[in-house]
Structure 1
């Protein structure tokens, strides 16, 4: 398929998606999903992480469907977003690794650090507050993913909801938690909660 024709099809699908056409979105998802997972995997090396990033990009695409520009290559646009998210994930992994090494070193040097203990206790309290503010339809899939380690598809199957609904709900829960815990953002990020 020529580039012009492919871009024309993308523009048509984007117009349909902007009009809330879920079938057009499914077509677009089916067209690109597998290739995008392979692309993300070339950076991350883990299929599960690659799938999560690609699913997140598609959720964001759906959420921003009314604001998308139709005059650019959708494929290139989405690949750029995926690339950036992969780089962010790699940086995040490095930050977590550095933090773990720092904590291990600090614990060895100062096993009775009262300040850290108080901070973690406060963070735990704030997390419970944030979770209490979330509606159950967002909290349940979020906890299944983050605390039980279940993949989006497993959650979808278990709850009997479409995969896109699960993706949307977890994405929405993350946004709300980030908002509620903005002063603890870096620590929640390091702990893999958000």
Structure 2
């Protein structure tokens, strides 16, 4: 049972900008939030980990709006559910986009522009990683390119899991913001796909 008085004190400190309070709250609630998302996502561990990370970075970003007198776990769950819904929507777009690329590859004998586009996007992600601070870049590569867990990365780098989660979430947030600059291109390809299928 989490002491409500201690929680309220941590929330007040978080609201004032205490990263130490943030890490304590992460330790207290990340496991509960992970289990909650695992139930909502039918046991999807990748989604659960991504949502937990992104939820807590969102908490840090809006820490000034946190209400110490309100239920923190309800606040966390509301953010997490919205993020999970966004992930499902994004996966649907990615699925249709991948289907488009597969169809294009089957229809053409030579290397397609879409394959070039896909390689370009991978190269673009790599170039974005180079813009990250050194520690954040290393965490991103270990997690997203080499598939290490947060716990393994924390042990390798001698830092806390919450620090790994925070840095990884910041890296992913940066990537997503930059990738949105190419969103119009993805939508154009999807539109062409649906027109050709009609």
TM-score interval, smaller chain: 0.7 to 0.9
Asked if residue 159 in structure 1 is aligned to residue 157 in structure 2, the reply is yes
Superposed, 1:16-165 pairs within 5 Å as 16-22=13-19, 24-44=21-41, 45-112=43-110, 114-165=112-163
RMSD value over aligned CA atoms? Answer: 2.9
CA contact 2:57–2:169 (8 Å) conserved in 1? yes
Give TM-score scaled by structure 2 length.
Answer: 0.75
Secondary structure at 1:95's aligned position in 2? Answer: helix
CA distance in 2, matches of 1:80, 1:86: 10
Q: Which segments of 5 or more consecutive residues in structure 1 lack a partner in the other structure?
A: 189-194
Query: 1:12 maps to which residue?
Result: 9
Structure 1 residues 121 and 54: alpha-carbon distance in aligned structure 2, compared to 1, 3 A threshold: closer
Alpha-carbon contact 1:130-1:181 (below 8 Å) kept: no
Q: Residues 31-73 of structure 1, C-alpha deviation per residue, up to 9 Å, x if partnerless?
A: 4333322211122122343133123212322343233234532
TM-superposed deviation, 1:113: 5.2
Match of 2:194?
none
Q: Is the 8 A contact 1:59 1:164 kept in 2?
A: no
With the length of structure 1 as denominator, give the TM-score of the two structures. Answer: 0.77
Structure 2 gap segments, 5+ residues each: 187-198
> Given the superposition, is the C-alpha separation of residues 47 and 181 from structure 1 closer, same or farther in structure 2, using an over 3 Å criterion?
closer
Change (3 A) 1:11 1:176: same
What secondary structure, in the 3-state scheme, does the structure 2 residue paired with 1:17 have? helix
